Each structure stands twice: as structure tokens, then as C-alpha cells.
Chain A
Amino acid sequence: GAGVSQSPRYKVAKRGQDVALRCDPISGHVSLFWYQQALGQGPEFLTYFQNEAQLDKSGLPSDRFFAERPEGSVSTLKIQRTQQEDSAVYLCASQALAGTFSYEQYFGPGTRLTVT
């Protein structure tokens, strides 16, 4: 069965370049989350969508980070003018409609971003 997919799996960017990371959630999942995971740490919340609405972007570390989900399915996380501290694994997770009381999140494999 199709799980959450992310592309690219690996991305190397030179400092100052813009990058775009893609997430394909499980079909029909209403909620979508982006997390950032540094080496040896747990995932840290970046932003949350319910359908196409971005309901929470409190975790985005700076205005260089931007996320969108224009049609309520695929989402893109964009980082402008990348810095070395942006190097991390970016995880996408989707979740079925909360009204079903199913709170588990399904994660993709992540995109490992290295900024040189």
C-alpha cells in the first residue's frame, strides 16, 4: 500500500541556494505536518496543514522557510537562501481526519538536506 513519500531523499545545496522539498501524503489524509530532525535529536515541529489551510506555522525557524499545500494533498517545503544550520532531515507526516479519533501520524522517509 502507498505510504507517505518524500522527494528528493537527499539534497546537497550550496549556502545561499533555494531548495524545495516535496511530500506526497497518504491519499485522503486531511492533516499534514512537517518536522525537522537534527542528528541525534527527536523530530521538531515546523508547520501543520488541515486540507489546504496552514493552521499552525509557529515552528518555522525563520521567514526563509515557507510551506504550501495548495490543493490539500501534495505539500512543498521551501527554504530560501539556505544556511549551514538548515542541514537536517526534513520529515513529512500525514494523519487521518481527527474526528475519527485516530491520532497516529504516518511519516515519510525524510529528505536529508546538507548545506555546504
Chain B
Amino acid sequence: SQKIEQNSEALNIQEGKTATLTCNYTNYSPAYLQWYRQDPGRGPVFLLLIRENEKEKRKERLKVTFDTTLKQSLFHITASQPADSATYLCALPPRGAGSYQLTFGKGTKLSVIP
């Protein structure tokens, strides 16, 4: 089964800096990888999806990279703001077509300090 490691349980950064979160997986390379944001007491919210043939994806201040050789995805938030403080989850689908459930990492709790 797929194992996912997210670099740290908690990450504190100063407002305005770039936050970089890491997601490593150990088994097969998935067809795509997703990142979600979760606030306390709420369900995860989808942010970005990157496919195996894409190196990089951007959405506003967010950037995701996907390196299938390293089995790693990096998630960047540029010009971070206190409102970006949340837990960020990396998620992968299972091997093969027709299956859509996700395997999630433990998440990284990001705190942006004013």
C-alpha cells in the first residue's frame, strides 16, 4: 500500500515569506496528486491537482511541483499571510483506473506569524 510522508507536523514562518511543504510517497507513482487545506473543525478543501506528466502547476499564490523520479511533491505558498494558517494535506489515488478514493498524509500544520 502507498505510504505518504509530509515533511513536518508543524511549520512556522513569518508573514510575507514563502512556505514550502513536502510530500513524499514510497510505493507506485500515482496518476495524479492532490493538495487539500483543512481548518480546525472543518472538512478538507481541495486546492490543486497535478498530473504525473505535469512538472508544475500554479494557482494564484500557490505552486505545486511533482517529481516522479524523487517520488515527491512540493507545495509552495508565496507572500504568505496569517489567513494561510491551516493544516495542508497531500493525497494520492490508488493504483489503477476506476478507483478514486484517496490516501492522505498526516498533514503539515502551517502557522504564519504576523
Question: Residue B44 at the A interface, CB < 8 A?
Answer: yes
Which B-chain residue is minimally distant from A91 (CB atoms)?
B43
Q: How far is the CB of A58 from chain B (nearest CB, A)?
A: 9
Q: Give residues in B with beta carbon < 8 Å to A.
A: 4, 9, 32, 34, 41-46, 49, 89, 91, 93, 99-107
Question: Residue A45 at the B interface, CB < 8 A?
Answer: yes
- Interface contact A103-B43, CB-CB below 8 Å: no
Q: How far is the CA of A35 from the CA of B43 in the complex (A)?
A: 10
- Interface contact A108-B106, CB-CB below 8 Å: no
B interface secondary structure, majority: loop
Q: Give residues in A with beta carbon < 8 Å to B.
A: 4, 31, 33, 35, 40-45, 48, 56, 59, 91, 93, 95, 98, 103-110
Q: Which of B41, B99, B101 contacts A109 (CB 8 A)?
A: B41
Q: Contacts A42-B4, A108-B43, A109-B42 given; 16 further ones with Cβ under 8 A?
A: A33-B101, A33-B102, A41-B107, A42-B106, A43-B44, A43-B89, A45-B101, A48-B99, A48-B100, A103-B49, A103-B93, A103-B100, A105-B44, A105-B46, A109-B43, A110-B41
